[in-house]
Structure 1
Amino acid sequence: MVLGASIAGLAAASVLSRHFDSVVVVDKDIPGETPKPRRGVPQGTHVHGLQPRAAILLDTFLPGVTDTLIAAGAVSIDFGTKMRSFLADGWVPGRPMGRETLSLTRPFLEHHVRAHAEQIDNVTFAWGHRARRLAGSESRVTGVVCEHEGVEHAFDAGLVVDASGRGTRAGAWLRDLGYGELRKSSVFIDVRYVTCNYTRPPDDLSGVIVRHYPHCKLGAALLPVENDQWLLSLSGRFGVYARKDHEGFMASAAELPIPDVHDMLSGRPATTPVTAYNFAHNQLRHYEAMQRLPSGFVAIGDSALALNPLYGQGMTSALAQAELLGNTLSELLEDGATDAATVSAEFIPRQAEFLAEPWRRALLGDTIFSEAHGDLPGNLDEIRARDAALAAVAAEDREVAKLLAQVTQFAAPAAELARPEIVRRVDEKLAGNVAAD
C-alpha cells in the first residue's frame, strides 16, 4: 500500500507491482481529467524539471512515459547550452552537457505519469481518501486507516510505503503503535517562491538561472515549459522576497542582478495567477535511529528527506529511493524471504546511508548564509574544506569530475568518491591549503 500519489508514490506503486499481487495507492486529492495543480502538492505551480537521471529511472518504472511527456509538449533541452546561469558576480560559461532535461510544469508531469501508473493491472487508486493512522501493533504495521467522505475504512497491507510528503504524520502514528520517537534533523533555510507563467515564442527554448549568494538573496529560474510558456519562479531568502501581485512580481524581476529575466518577459501576457510557496526547513527523518525499526513500513521521497527545492534534487532523490526499494525487494525474494515485513529491516539502513550524501550537500549549500541554523554538525568547516578540496581535484581530472557529477545526480553511490586514489589527492589538496595559510 502506498500513501500519496506523488511522483515518489507513483514510482513506488510501479516497483511494488512487480513483487506483490495487489497494490493500492491512497491520496486525499481527487485529480481532474486535465493537468491542474493539486491541494496536496502546494509546490506544484513552481519550477520543476525532470533531470536526466530522473527521466531514466521514471522510464524504468513506467516504460514510455518520457516519450509521452515529450509528445504532449514537455521541452527537452540541454541545460548547458539553452540555460544561462548567473552565479555570484558573473555568467557561468555554457557548454553542452550531452544529456537533456525535460522542462515542464508539475501538474503536467503528474498527469501523464499518473496515466501510465493507472495502466498497471494490479495497481488501484483510492482517491479522496485521507490517511488517519497506521494499523498494527508493537510487532509490525499491518495497514492504514483512511477517511473517505466522513467514513473510516481500514486497508490491510503487507507493506506500507509512506510517500505523502514532508508533512507526513508517520512519526506520530508510529509512536502511537509503540515504536518510540522519530528523530528529525532540521535546518532553517527560509526559501520563499513566487511564480507566474507567461507566453513564449514557440521557437524560443532559452532560459535563465540566477543563483542565490549571501550578497544576492533574490534568485530566479526562468524555464521554457509546455504550451509555449515561460515559467518564472523568483525565490527569496532571509528578508529579501519577491512581491505577490503581477505588477510587483515584474518589479521584483527587475531587481535581479541582471536585466535578462525582466527583459525576456517585459510586455508578455501572464497565463497564470501569481502563486507563492514557502519552504522553511531542510528535514531529514531518522527512521534508522528509532527504538525499533517499524516492521512493515518504509517512507520514501520527502517523507524521509525534504531538501531545498532550489537544488532541483527532490524528484531524482525520490525516484532513486524507489529504485533502492525495488532492489531490496528483489534481493530478499532471491534469498527466499516470504514476509514483506522484513523489507523494513533491510531497506531503512540502506536508505539512511543513501540519504546522508544529499543531506550533506544541502548543508554545505545552505550554510553559506549565516542566517541558516539548526541541527548542524560540529565539524561543518572541516566538511566544507574537504568538499572544496574534492572540487579542486575534479577541476584537474575529467574522470573525477564525471564521477562527482554522477554522485550528485544519484547515478553512483557516494562511496565511489572514497576510492583510495581520490582520498589521497584530496588529502594532498588539504595539506597544501594548510601550508599556504
Structure 2
Amino acid sequence: MSVSNIQDYVKWFRHSSPYINAHRGKTFVVMLPGEALTHPNFGHIIHDLALLSSLGVRLVLVHGARPQIDLRLSAEQRPPVFHRNLRITDSESLQGVMQAIGEARITMEAALSTGLPNSPMHGARIEVASGNYVAAMPHGVIDGVDLQHAGKVRRINVPQLTRALDAGAIALLSPLGYSATGEVFNLTYTDVATQAAIALKADKLLAYCDTDGVTDAQGRLVRQFTLPQCKQHLNENIGQTSELTQLALESAYLSCLQGVQRAQLVNYTTDGALLAELFTRDGQGTMVYSGHYEQLRGATIDDVGGILGLIEPLEAEGILVRRSRELLETEITKFNVLEKDGTIIACAAVYPFGQVAELACVATHPEYRKGGRAAQLLEQLERRARDSGIDTLFVLTTQTAHWFLEHGFVPGAINDLPLERQSLYNYQRGSKVFFKDIR
C-alpha cells in the first residue's frame, strides 16, 4: 500500500470513529431482498454485516425470497399468481414457498457462519438466532380474491427477539409467520422488516434495494426526505423507480411514521454501500427521518419575531452578539430555522466568504435543549453548505467552545479568518475562533 493510500485509510478510519461510537449498542433492522442473495456482491454484504455486529450493533436481519420462490414454483410448473402485488398462496404452492424460503434462510445462516483464515469473517464467531419470532394472520379476501396462505404480520415477539439480541446474536427473520392454530403464512419481507423495526423501536431501518436511492427530476440523488416529503414523493412518483426501491422507500416511510428515527436506502449491488452510508458524513443513499414534523428551512421575514424570541435571552447572557430587529430583517436570508408545528425551535445563520463560511447565531428554544436539535441543525447546515461549494465553516464564540469542539471544530486563530471577517473582529468581546473542514 502506498503512503498516500495509507494516509487516506487513516483519515477515513479516524473520521469514522464518531459513527462507530454512535452506532454501538443501537438496534438496526436490515431488510435484504431475495435478489441480493444471488448477486456477486452478497459476500461483501455479509462481511459488512459481520463487521457491524463486531462493533456492537444489535442486528435484526430480514431476508426476502421472491426470486427463489419463483424458481421453485416454476420447476413445479406452478406459474406465479399475484393480486395487488401479493402472491396468492394455495396449499399446494405453500410447500414450495416454504422450501424456497428455507433454502434462502440456510444460505444466510451458512454465509454468516464462515470463518476461514485470511477472510474478513475470520474469528467472527457470529451466533445466528432464528425462530418463531413472527405471529401472522391471513390477508383474507381482497376484491373478491382469496389470498389463502398469503398473510401479514400480526405481532412481533419482542421479548424473544430482545433476548437473542442481548446475547449478542444476529436475529434472522424469514418471510414466514405462524398463527396460534399452527398455520403457516407466506409474508412479504418488507412487512416483516417494517413491523420488526416498529415493534423493537429500532434506531434504524436499513433497506437494501437495487439503486443508490431516490432521484429527483434531474436525476440527482435525493439524500434525505422528511416524512411529508417522502409521502409526497410516494404519491406523485408511482412507477417512476424500480420496484425494489419503491418497496424500500415505502417501508422507510411506514417505519419512520411509527417512531423509527431514521431509515436508509442502501444499494445491494455496490460494494461497501452499507459502510459508506453508516460511517461517512454524506452517506451513499437516501435517508428518511421522522423528525416528528420538525423541518429545517430557510428563514423568511415572517420569522423575525420567532428568531428574536430565541436569541434575545442568549444575547442578554452575552452568549450571542446583539442583533437589532432591523439588522435581522436585512440578514434574514442568511438564517435557517427548525420549525415544529408552526413554532421556531432552533435557528442558525451562515455567512459565506467564498469557500469559507461563518456559522453564527446558533440558538435552541429552552424547552427543546438537550434533545439534539442543535446537532441536527448543524448536520443539515453542513450538508447544505457543502452542496453550495463551501469547504470550511468557522465560528466565533465566548461560552460554547466545548460544544463546538464536541462536534468536530478545532481551535484556530484570528489571522486564519477571512480578511473581511478579521476587520470586523471585536477584540473587546474576545471570542475564540474554531474551524471545521466539512469536505
TM-score w.r.t. the length of structure 2 is 0.23
Larger radius of gyration between Structure 1 and Structure 2: 2
Q: Which has the higher contact order (CA 8 A, sep 6+)?
A: 1
TM-score w.r.t. the length of structure 1 is 0.23
